[in-house]
Chains A and B, each alone.
Chain A
Amino acid sequence: MSDLFSKFDALIAEREALMSTGIRDPFGIVMDEVKSPTEAVIKGKDTILLGTYNYMGMTFDPDVIAAGKDALDQFGSGTNGSRCLNGTFRDHMDVEEALKEFYGTKYAMVFSTGYQANLGLVSTIAGKGDYIILDADSHASIYDGCFLGNAEIVRFRHNSVEDLEKRLGRLPPEAQKLVILEGVYSMLGDIAPLDKMVAVAKKFGAMVLVDEAHSMGFFGPNGRGVYEEQGVEADVDFVVGTFSKSVGTVGGFVVSNHPKFEILRLVTRPYVFTASLPPSVVATAATSIRKLMHADNKRGHLWANVHQLHGGLKKLGFRLPTETAESAIVTVLLDDQEQTAAMWNKMIELGVYVNMARPPATPTGVFLLRCSLCAEHTPEQIDTVLARFAEAGRAVGAIA
C-alpha cells in the first residue's frame, strides 16, 4: 500500500539489510547506567564512552550537581512557559550573566537547545533580499535556519577561503550579508581558517556568525573557541554555542556585542514559541560555565588525550582525515557502509562506544567512525581503546 511513508521505503530496506547481518543498531544504543563522564553500562557490559561530546567531563561535577539539586528544590521541575511570558526565572538571568562573563560580551541569549539557537538566529536576522553565505559542510541546524527564513542562500566549498571570496564578490555590493562559519566541523574534526575567512567577510561588509559548539573551554586563552585562538574576536558579530557538549547539560545560546541585540528576544520564533529550560538545567549550566573559566587542568588533560588517541590510531595504520589532531574530535575513515557498521559493532562488543556516521550527515560521501575525547579519560583508558581499535580494525580488514 502506498501512503505518505512510501518515500522512506528505500531507507527502511537499507536498514533492514544492515540489521540482518546480525549487528546491533548503531542508532539505538541505550545506556542502562552511566557511571561517570567516560563509562556506562550498555546491555550489561561496562563500556568506555568515546562519542559523547562531553569534552570537559562536567556532567558529574559535584558543584554542578549541587546547583541543579538546589534549583529543583527552590524552583521546581519546570517553567511551563516561554522566556517571553512566565518562563524566565532567576537562574535563566544568571546563566546569561555567566555567558557574558565567559565570552566577555555585552549580550547573551539562551535558547532551549543549540539547534534552536542556530534555527532562531539564522532565520531571523537574514530576511528577504538578504544573503546568507555558508560553508557547504555546515551543521543541519544552520541549514534548517536557512530554510526556515527567507534569505537567499549561497554555499561555498568547505573551508575554502578562495571560494568564499569569489562568491562574496559575485553578490550585489549593496545587499546585506551574513557569513556563517564553524570553529570546529564535527564530522572530520577539522578547524576553520577563521582568521582568513573573517577578514574576507569583513572586506565585503558582511556580518559574521561563528558556531563554536565543539570548542568551548579548550580553544583560545579564555576557552572561548577557535575564533579567540585565531585572534578574530573583534570582527565576529555573533557566537553560537551549546550547553550539551563542554557545559554538560542541554541548551543553546548566542552571545554578541551588537547594540540592538536584545530585540531578538521578541522576534525570534524558536525563542518565543517554546518553553524555556527547566531551572535545574540553567543552574547546572551557570555553575559549569563559571568553572570552565578556570579549567586549565582539564584542558591540559583533554589535549593530552587527543594527541594520544590521534597518534595511536595513526600508528596502527588507520586512515585519519587530518594529519595532526586539530580538535577533540578524532575521526577514522573507512571504506564503505558494510565495513563501517561491522567495525562499529565490533567496538561496541569490545566495550567502546563511538559514533558511526554515513552520508548525507558526512561530507563527500565518506563513511566514518567518530571519537570525541573527554578531559576525564585516563591514559589507561585511551590505551585500552587503542588496543580494541587494533583488534576490531584487523577483524574487519581496515588495517593490516
Chain B
Amino acid sequence: MTDRAAITEAVAAQIEPFNKKGVALTDTTTFQHDLEWDSLTVMDFVAAVEDEFDILITMNMQAEIETVGQLVDTVEKLQSK
C-alpha cells in the first residue's frame, strides 16, 4: 500500500463515526455538502484527525479543505514535515 492509500484508509476510519448517513467516500466527497457536517461536527472530526496523525490542522488550513482528497493531501504534506 502506498503512503497515500494508507492515509486515505486512516482518514476514512476517522470519518466513519461521523458519517451518519453512510455516504460512500471518494476523493471528491465534500464534508459540507455530501456528508452534511455542521461546524461543530467539523471541530470534533478535525480534533480526531489531528490526534490520529499527531499533526495540527489550523483553522486557516481548514478553510481551504473541502473534500476528502484535499484532507488526505494536507495530512500527507504535514506528516512529511
Residues of A within 8 A of B (CB): 131, 136, 146, 152-157, 163, 166-167, 170-171, 359-360, 363-365
Contacts and interface: CB of A to CB of B under 8 A. Distances in A.
Contacts of B39: 360
What interface size band does chain B fall in? Answer: 10 to 19
Chain A interface helix/strand/loop/mixed: mixed
Going nearest first, the 4 A-B pairs with the smallest beta carbon separation are A153-B59, A152-B58, A170-B56, A136-B43
Contact of B51 (A136, A166, A171): A166
B13 interface: no
Interface of B: 38-40, 43-44, 46-47, 50-51, 54-56, 58-60
B25 to A, nearest CB: 23
A171 to B, nearest CB: 7
Nearest to B61: A152
A152 B43 CA distance: 16
Nearest to A160: B47
A136 B38 CA distance: 14
Contacts of B55: 170
26 contacts: A131-B58, A136-B43, A136-B47, A146-B59, A152-B58, A153-B59, A153-B60, A154-B58, A155-B43, A155-B46, A155-B59, A157-B47, A163-B47, A166-B51, A167-B50, A167-B56, A170-B50, A170-B54, A171-B56, A359-B40, A360-B38, A360-B40, A364-B40, A364-B44, A365-B38, A365-B40
Contacts of A166: 51
Contacts of B58: 131, 152-154
A363 B40 contact: yes
Contacts of A171: 56
Contacts of A364: 40, 44
Given A163-B47, A166-B51, A154 B59 contact: yes
A301 B29 CA distance: 56
B55 to A, nearest CB: 7
B15 to A, nearest CB: 18
A359 B43 CA distance: 13
Contacts of B54: 170
A170 B56 CA distance: 7
A154 B60 CA distance: 9
User: Among B44, B51, B56, which residue has the most Cβ atoms of chain A within 10 A?
Assistant: B56
Contacts of B51: 166
Contacts of A170: 50, 54-56
Nearest to A364: B40
B38 to A, nearest CB: 7
Nearest to B46: A155
A156 B44 CA distance: 10
Contacts of A131: 58
B56 A359 contact: no
